[in-house]
Amino acid sequence: MESILERDGQTCVWCARDVGTGLVEATTEHVVPRIKGGPSWIENEVAACKRCNGRRGHRTPAEWADECDGLGWSPDRVRLVAVLTSLQQSIEERGGQRRARPYVASQLRRLRRSIDP
């Protein structure tokens, strides 16, 4: 968790609440869910508050970011794109992860469109 907070900052990727103070419980969230083939690599993890992590379920990052917008929260799409890009590069270097590859590519396309319409 410390490495993730150092890399990404001390806010929840979904709602922007401060998770570094201990007032809001921080959890690690798999951007590509394990059930969708996401690996347990640091490149696939972001900091999320316990509330957001629990509510997301198995929604895609783009779907959950859109839902967070609707709740009045501020999902960090730029951070999500950076993490997914890093994950994509790691998959290319390490190999494997056949199930995760198309998922990562589709989420990158969708999130990038929402950043740069």
pLDDT in tens, 26-59: 999 999 999 999 999 999 999 999 999 999 998 9
Please determine, for residue 71, whether its predicted confidence score (pLDDT) is greater than 80: yes
**What confidence score (pLDDT) does residue 117 get?**
63
The average pLDDT across 61-89 equals: 97
Environment class of residue 32 by beta-carbon count within 10 Å: exposed (0-12), middle (13-18) or buried (19+)? Answer: buried
The average pLDDT across 66-75 equals 97
pLDDT of 79 over the 70 cut: yes
Check residue 63 and give its pLDDT: 97
Q: What is the model's pLDDT at position 58? A: 86
Q: Where are the domains of the chain?
A: 2-115
Q: State the pLDDT at residue 83.
A: 96
The pLDDT of residue 100 is 95
Q: Give the Cα separation of 18 and 48 in Å (integer).
A: 9
Question: What is the average pLDDT score of the chain?
Answer: 94
Q: What is the mean pLDDT of residues 60-76?
A: 97
